Each structure stands twice: as C-alpha cells, then as structure tokens.
Amino acid sequence: MAAKFAIPTPEMQIDFSFALGKIRSMYLQDALSGTVKNIDLKTLDKELSEYVPQQSLKALAQHGFRGELVFPVPCILEKNPYLLGYYRLLLGFSQKDFYTKAFGASCFKSMEVKGIINDKFYPMLPDLCSALIKSACVLMDGIGVDRLSRDLLDDLALLTIGPQLRGGANVKKGLKGIVEVFETIHKIVKHTIIAATASKIEIQNAAGTRVFIEFAPDPDIVIREEMEKGIYRNIIAIEVKAGTDYSNIHNRLGEAEKSHQKARGADYTECWTVINVERLNLDKAKKESPSTNRFYILSVLKSGKGPEYQDFKNRVISLAGIKEK
C-alpha cells in the first residue's frame, strides 16, 4: 500500500531566494563593498586604527581581510546608514532585540529601516560603533581568526535574517513586491541581457553601451547607462510600495516621494512609483508624490498584459535605448 504524504510547496523558501538579491544590495557584503568604494580610504583606515584594537586589525590583515568587514566605524555608517543592519545581522541580533532600551540602540532604528541618521542622535554614533566593535571582537575571538572567511560571515548574517523574514509579514511582502517588479523588467529586456545575477542585470542597448538594472537601497530599483568607465547616466528610479492596505496608501506615497527626491538629486530622468492597491486617485497621488512621473499597479505589471503594462514596457525599452524583440 502506497504511503500518502501531504508535503506543501516551499513558498517561503522561494520568496526568500528572490528576496536575497534586494537584501544583499542593502544589508550584506555587497552593500558594504559598494559603500567602501565611495569612501576615502585614508579616512576609513584612520578611523579603523582609532576605534579597533590593533591586534584585531592585524589578525584580519594576516588573512587578507580589511577591518570594516567585521568592525563598523562612523564614516561607513555616515555614508550608508543602512549598513547598521549589516553589523547587526553579523552579530546575530534580531531587530526586536537590538532596537530596544535594553540595548540602548532604539534611537538608531531609522538608520537600518530608512537610511537616515537622526540629527539629535548623531553625536552618539561613535559610541554606538565602539559598543558594536567590542561585541565584534568577542565574535572574532570566539570563532577564531583562522576559521574566518567571507562565506562564514555571510552565512552568519543569513542565519539571523532568516527568522526575521519568516516572522515579518510586511517585510516579506515589501521585498516580494520589489522582486516581482525586477522580474517583470527582466522579462522585458531578456533578449538583450549580457550578464545577470540575483541583484543586477546588465544589458547592451542599441547604441552598444551597457545599461544596468539593479536593486538599490533607496529607491528600490534603478536603471543606469554607463557612458564611460565609472560614469553613468541615471535613467529610471523605481520605488515599490507593495502594501495592500488602502488606508495607509498616503503614508506609502509620502515615503515614495522622499526616495524620489533623492533620485531627483542624483539626476534620474524618470521616477516611477509602483503600488499594490487597485483603487488609486491619481490626482491625490500626484499631490502626495509630485516627483513621481508615472504610477503603476503591481498586479497589472505582474499580469504582463493591458495598456498600463504596455506603457511600462514601452518606456523601459525606449528609455534604456534597446530594441524590442
């Protein structure tokens, strides 16, 4: 007699696999590496020398690792406040535990969540770094420097973020929405792709130049054309608000506006907002986010059909300068 099993589909793991691209671009080693590229190394090395015990830096250097891989210093968190999340995850603390009065870090939650350092608490940033470094020294000593590797540190961070994704329905919904828009664009430009990873798509446009479509901390997805090595033309910034609660749409549009104001400051040509509610008063939406050029509905983009989807597709193709298949 054949046994009967009722094993459900692994929806959680599927969502998690797609969400990793966005997570890596904000909170893991990819985000750290991208930030360090834009920091003066003399300043960074000076702060590492000032804040981190010399024996710890030497131990890392002997194995080919730079200090910021384990130890946070003010210039890194000033440049990219989201990276507080990187060091929190590396040390194994959940958001629920870390941002409490017991830890003393609740006032810094806006750094990880919104990428903002509150001016009131800015003077406390050096003390926060010192406290994190003290904990990181214990981590490094406990593991043993000979066992340290980038892969191990990445694994430790992922072990922390796994339960966070499982327990945070809103976080999962938000990340999933961003990934769904990314996948929609992937299908549109698939015939021109040169290379692709979980967090970045590289295509070649009709002019023969490279165009990058990638996750970003703020806004969520950006499309940039490489004019010459290291110099880009910023084309499209996309902010995704995947919440389905209509009563909260005004807050989400306000958040989108803040992101798009940053994008405008970075000279993005187009700013788009994707929302996940069906009933949207465009006149009110434009007042909430005047920086948004186009509003799109997530479910329509996922469907891959209809006038709104076709408008999205046509604009991606036109602005990226690629030929339609």
Distance CA 268, CA 284 (A): 23
pLDDT over threshold 60, residue 168: no
| pLDDT confidence tier of residue 172, bands split at 50, 70 and 90 | low
Express as a percent the part of the chain with pLDDT over 90.
57
Share of the chain above pLDDT 70, in %: 93
Q: What is the mean pLDDT of residues 153-182?
A: 76
pTM of the model: 0.65
Ordered by start, the domain boundaries in the chain are 12-167, 170-320
Strand partners, 221: 215, 238
- Cα 52 to Cα 24: distance, rounded to the nearest angstrom: 25
Q: How many Cβ atoms from other residues are within 10 Å of residue 252's Cβ?
A: 22
What value does the mean pLDDT take over residues 40-59? 95
pLDDT given at position 167? 56
**CA gap 91, 71 in Å, rounded:** 10
CATH ID of 170-320, from 3.30.2030, 3.40.1280, 3.40.91, 3.40.50: 3.40.91
pLDDT at residue 84 above 90?
Answer: yes
Read off the pLDDT of residues 280-322 as tens digits, 9 standing for 90 and up: 788 888 888 999 999 999 999 999 999 999 999 999 999 999 9
